[in-house]
């Protein structure tokens, strides 16, 4: 099976290209094809003639999206529609990466795939609107929502915490936002399985378990055997340009439907730290 990966140089894209060995993968980086350019996207897809397209390319800087909404929508929504259109023209199946930020965080139990979208940030709106548009262009596409992605080969929360821990005696970390950390390696494995199973519809894919950012940071430092103090603070104290959902835990029920399982985030963190160490 031939798979075309848009966003091959990103955190998830690198994991997909490295971990997905059973099929024929073709990676497309941003410098190879800007997904905002429909003609270029059509040319790349036609040349590759893939059975599946995985769209991992996106403008993922949440605060950057808040400052540059036109760019955010051009990439995350309109670019995604371009890829979907090219997939349709070439009879390819599409798997699109979406986000827990399509929800407002007002729920107190894990979000199911059919819970209403109500994004609070520009980034969340771009992903939510992309989902709606893609389902119009390709009703059988697979939309994979994930959250709190981390892994080697790119900027992520554990990497930031470890670097700051080497510079400061104490760290202040938000303790009133709760979600599911997700290892890029485990997500790549789940995506490969979903494609092989010809999955369609919306699927929530994260490592199992949930925590606050404070709890995540504390576990990172404990596993790394660092003595840096971690202090819990509120989102108000650590104000950011883009609002974040207070609770964005994603239910694993939709993933189990396809008989795909992902390990606990604590296990994933141990493997990430081992991989990160030279």
CA 205 distance to own-chain centroid: 9
Q: Which among 59, 111, 123, 247 is annotated as catalytic?
A: 123
123 is known as an active-site residue: yes
Classify strands 93-99 and 149-150 as parallel, antiparallel or unpaired: unpaired
Tokens standing for 103?
Answer: 């929800």
Tokens standing for 163?
Answer: 């670097």
Q: Residue 146: which of 161, 136, 156 has the closest Cα?
A: 156
Distance between CA atoms of residues 182 and 224, nearest Å: 18
- Range list of H helices, the chain: 11-19, 38-48, 62-67, 69-73, 80-89, 122-137, 157-165, 184-196, 213-223, 253-257, 265-276
Give catalytic residues, as residue numbers.
123
């Amino acid at each position: 099976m031939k798979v075309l990966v848009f966003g091959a140089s990103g955190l998830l894209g690198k994991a997909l290209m490295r971990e997905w060995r059973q099929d024929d993968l073709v990676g497309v980086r941003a410098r190879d094809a800007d997904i905002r350019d429909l003609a270029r996207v059509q040319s790349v897809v036609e040349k590759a003639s893939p059975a599946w397209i995985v769209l991992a390319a996106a403008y993922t800087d949440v605060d950057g999206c808040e400052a540059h909404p036109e760019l955010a929508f051009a990439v995350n929504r309109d670019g995604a529609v371009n890829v979907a259109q090219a997939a349709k023209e070439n009879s390819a199946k599409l798997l699109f990466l979406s986000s827990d930020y399509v929800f407002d965080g007002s729920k107190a139990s894990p979000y199911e795939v059919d819970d209403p979208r109500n994004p609070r940030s520009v980034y969340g709106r771009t992903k939510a609107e992309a989902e709606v548009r893609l389902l119009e262009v390709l009703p059988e596409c697979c939309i994979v929502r994930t959250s709190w992605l981390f892994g080697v080969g790119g900027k992520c929360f554990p990497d930031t915490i470890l670097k700051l821990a080497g510079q400061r005696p104490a760290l202040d970390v938000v303790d009133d936002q709760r979600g599911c950390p997700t290892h890029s390696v485990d997500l790549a494995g789940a995506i490969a399985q979903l494609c092989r199973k010809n999955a369609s519809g919306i699927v929530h894919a994260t490592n199992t378990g949930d925590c606050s950012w404070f709890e995540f940071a504390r576990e990172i430092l404990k596993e790394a055997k660092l003595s840096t103090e971690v202090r819990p603070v509120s989102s108000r104290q650590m104000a950011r340009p883009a609002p974040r959902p207070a609770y964005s835990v994603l239910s694993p029920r939709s993933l189990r439907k396809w008989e795909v399982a992902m390990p606990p985030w604590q296990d994933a963190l141990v493997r990430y730290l081992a991989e990160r160490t030279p």
